[in-house]
Structure 1
Amino acid sequence: MPITQESSEAVSFYHYWKNGGCREDGQLFVFDGEFRETCPKLTEDYEVYFKKDMYDLLNGTPYRPRNAWLMVGGPGAASKWHVDPNATHAWNAVARGSKRWFMLPPSCIPVGVYPSGDGSNMTQPVSLLHEWWPRFFEETEALYGDKLLQGTCKAGECMFVPRGWWHCVINNDDNDDITIAITQNYCAESSVHKARRFFRETPHCISGLLTHDCDEYEKLQNEMADEFDKRLREKRPDLLARDDSPKAPKRILDSERHDGNGEKFSFWSHLKSMRKTISYEKK
């Protein structure tokens, strides 16, 4: 539901919230993927955390997937268990309210969630808060232990979601108030070959294309792999030379990388040095 400053949808959601609709089971949770076009001034109020997005090579073409959303929802509104689309990382910044996060590594499928082999379909309880939580949370926690990460992002804080990680999010109900957040997905340079493989092997899973014509959508999906490779050859041929296939030399992981002083590089230590804060809780 796109929101504009004068849209009837925004007014309707305001009355829906004020009249108690946000306390219903299965309540409305707004994901507006057009806010940058309908309210461009909003983009002046925040800074993009990870600016380098390899899918920007597709800008100005119908192949460029939508990648940013304004999210508005009341207490208890939730995003069910999922993996972010198109082989992307993501960041999610809270502007108002707070969000409770649950995350699992790619190999740890949440109990009660049944993805298809290619990830194109997902079966899970309809309500995260009222069905999945009472039935499967304790079993998931017991099965995965410390691998199940839990944390709370408050206003002004940002969550980073690595590519392929399972996650679900619930708006906290501390103040019985609306939570507003911005999220954006991006393809890092280190993910280029994962993206290329994703486009070539599972084109039917590509999401976020702007056309509403089913035949055109399928055509763009099937052409995406060749189009992305074409753009890489034109703009970033150096990335095509970095082959991460099994025959290539072992890729150095961030955990194995060293800085100029001979110390091991740590992504999380780097974030701490930038004084970015996040509320983290672990049971």
Structure 2
Amino acid sequence: MGSDYEVPVYFQEDLFKVLGEERPDHRWIIIGPAGSGSSFHVDPNSTSAWNAVIKGAKKWVMFPPEVPPPGVHPSADGAEVTSPVSIMEWFMNFYGACRTWKKRPIECVCRAGDIVFVPNGWWHLVINLEESIAITQNYVSRRNLLNVLDFLKRPNASELVSGTKDRVNLHDKFRNAIDAAYPGTISQLEVEAQQKAADRKKKVAFWDSAVDSNTGGFKFSF
């Protein structure tokens, strides 16, 4: 099976490769009957993921990181997620209402040959509409490298980090390996992130100065 496995071109940058045999678990084959699936969760270690259907059909429901799905209650430190209902009960009790939200879920159905991308931090539920076979892989790219490093160094990393025996030291091992393989990359990404944050503040400051808070209108000067 390994000889037939090929990562799609869009997802071939996988920075966890620098850890070699010490990299966390990252790829799986998933087989299940109709009605089976996975309840709402966020993928491990702040990684992004892709999922390709080989046979069958899978329905996906996804929410952005800042919108916990209704009926799902994550703990403050992210170590635990409580979902008191099954997948089918969630569809029966919550699905209809959340589709009218301003930040409504992103949904799709993937069939044989389709691939779905799951950004890091996004909540997602998957249910097999038919007997299904799929392959999936979690990965780190430059796009989410800083998120992964922040996740791995959290105070409760020993509870949060998964897929490896050495949860506590994974951050240092990964950062050092990235610095050795791609010198300057982390520093460059940190500078870019700071610049983006500064640009966002400038945009907010402009509109604050342009809007008259007392009247709700705009202020003009010549």
TM-score (norm 1): 0.64
- Count of aligned pairs: 195
Partner of 1:81: 40
Q: Please give the residue correspondences for 1:263-274 in structure 2 after superposition, counting only pairs within 5 Å.
A: none
Distance 1:192 1:148 in 2: 25
- Give CA deviations for 1:170-194 in whole Å, capped at 9, x if unaligned: 1014xxxx20000000001121111
Distance 2:151 2:103 in 1: 29
Partner of 2:86: 127
Partner of 2:16: 55
What is the DSSP-based 3-state SS (H/G/I as helix, E as strand, rest coil) of the residue aligned with 1:198? helix
Task: Find 1:107's aligned residue among 51, 56, 66.
Answer: 66
1:140 aligns with 2:98: yes
Bigger mean CA offset, 133-142 vs 226-235: 133-142
1:158 aligns with 2:111: no
- Give CA deviations for 1:200-235 in whole Å, capped at 9, x if unaligned: 1141211111xxxxxxx3xx2111111112112211
Task: Find 1:206's aligned residue among 155, 161, 175.
Answer: 161
Residues 98, 104 of structure 2: 8 Å contact kept: no
Distance 2:191 2:44 in 1: 22
What is the DSSP-based 3-state SS (H/G/I as helix, E as strand, rest coil) of the residue aligned with 2:195? coil
Distance 2:127 2:77 in 1: 26
What is the DSSP-based 3-state SS (H/G/I as helix, E as strand, rest coil) of the residue aligned with 1:147? coil
Q: Please give the residue correspondences for 1:217-228 in structure 2 after superposition, counting only pairs within 5 Å.
A: 217=165, 220-228=166-174
- Give CA deviations for 1:19-46 in whole Å, capped at 9, x if unaligned: xxxxxxxxxxxxxxxxxxxxxxx13334
Distance 1:47 1:59 in 2: 18
Alpha-carbon spacing, 1:146–1:243, altered in 2? closer, same or farther (3 Å):
closer
1:168 aligns with 2:125: yes
Q: Which protein has greater RCO, CA pairs closer than 8 Å, 6+ apart?
A: 2
Task: Find 2:149's aligned residue among 170, 174, 196.
Answer: 196
Alpha-carbon spacing, 1:116–1:246, altered in 2? closer, same or farther (3 Å):
farther
Residues 71, 85 of structure 2: 8 Å contact kept: no
- Aligned CA RMSD, in angstroms, stands at 2.2
Residue 140 of structure 1: how far off its partner (Å): 2.2
Residue 65 of structure 1: how far off its partner (Å): 0.5
- For structure 1, which runs of at least 5 residues remain unmatched after alignment? 1-41, 210-216, 254-283
Distance 1:154 1:46 in 2: 18
Residue 85 of structure 1: how far off its partner (Å): 0.7
Residue 245 of structure 1: how far off its partner (Å): 6.9
Alpha-carbon spacing, 1:247–1:52, altered in 2? closer, same or farther (3 Å):
closer
- For structure 2, which runs of at least 5 residues remain unmatched after alignment? 200-222
Distance 1:97 1:238 in 2: 44
Residue 109 of structure 1: how far off its partner (Å): 0.8
Residue 238 of structure 1: how far off its partner (Å): 2.1
